[in-house]
Structure 1
């Protein structure tokens, strides 16, 4: 698990498609869905942890990107 697309493919295996329209919101919804899969016992820690780390990293990068955009305006 290295990139956001890998997490999307993981969720897709369970029939979960996330598209809210705002990238930051998509990442947050993916985190909720991923945690739900973990809590339900459908995925193990060895799958959950790398996916959660990817989502955390992407969330941080997207927040920084939005912060930089707002500072430029």
Structure 2
């Protein structure tokens, strides 16, 4: 797992589709879903940590872009 698309694909395999037209809101929902999958012992610790890292990096990128506008 090395990009956001991988996280979208992972969530799709478990029947979770997230698109709210709000990129930050999508990231919050994705993080919640990833946490729930980990709590349910569906994800191993490595995938869980990598997914959270990618989501947080994307959130930071979006915040920086918003500030530059």
Q: How high is the TM-score relative to the length of structure 1?
A: 0.88
Shift in Å, 1:58: 0.3
Any runs of at least 4 consecutive aligned residues in structure 1 with deviations exceeding 4 A, and if so which?
Answer: none
Unaligned runs of 5+ in 1: none
The alpha carbon displacement at 1:7 in A equals 0.5
CA distance in 2, matches of 1:58, 1:30: 12
Ranges in structure 2 where 5+ consecutive residues have no aligned partner:
none
Structure 2 Cα separation of the partners of residues 22 and 68 of structure 1: 18
Q: What is the distance in 2 between the residues matched to 1:28 and 1:5? A: 16
Q: Deviations over 1:26-57 (max 9, x none)?
A: 11110111011111111110211111111010
Higher-Rg structure is: 1
Q: How does 1:12-23 map to 2 (within 5 A)?
A: 12-23=12-23
The alignment partner of 2:66 has SS state of helix
Aligned equivalent of 1:11: 11
Cα distance between partner residues in 2 of 1:68 and 1:39: 37
Aligned Cα RMSD in Å?
A: 0.8
CA distance in 1 between counterparts of 2:39 and 2:6 reads 20
Name the count of aligned residue pairs. Answer: 69
Which residue does 2:51 correspond to in 1? 51
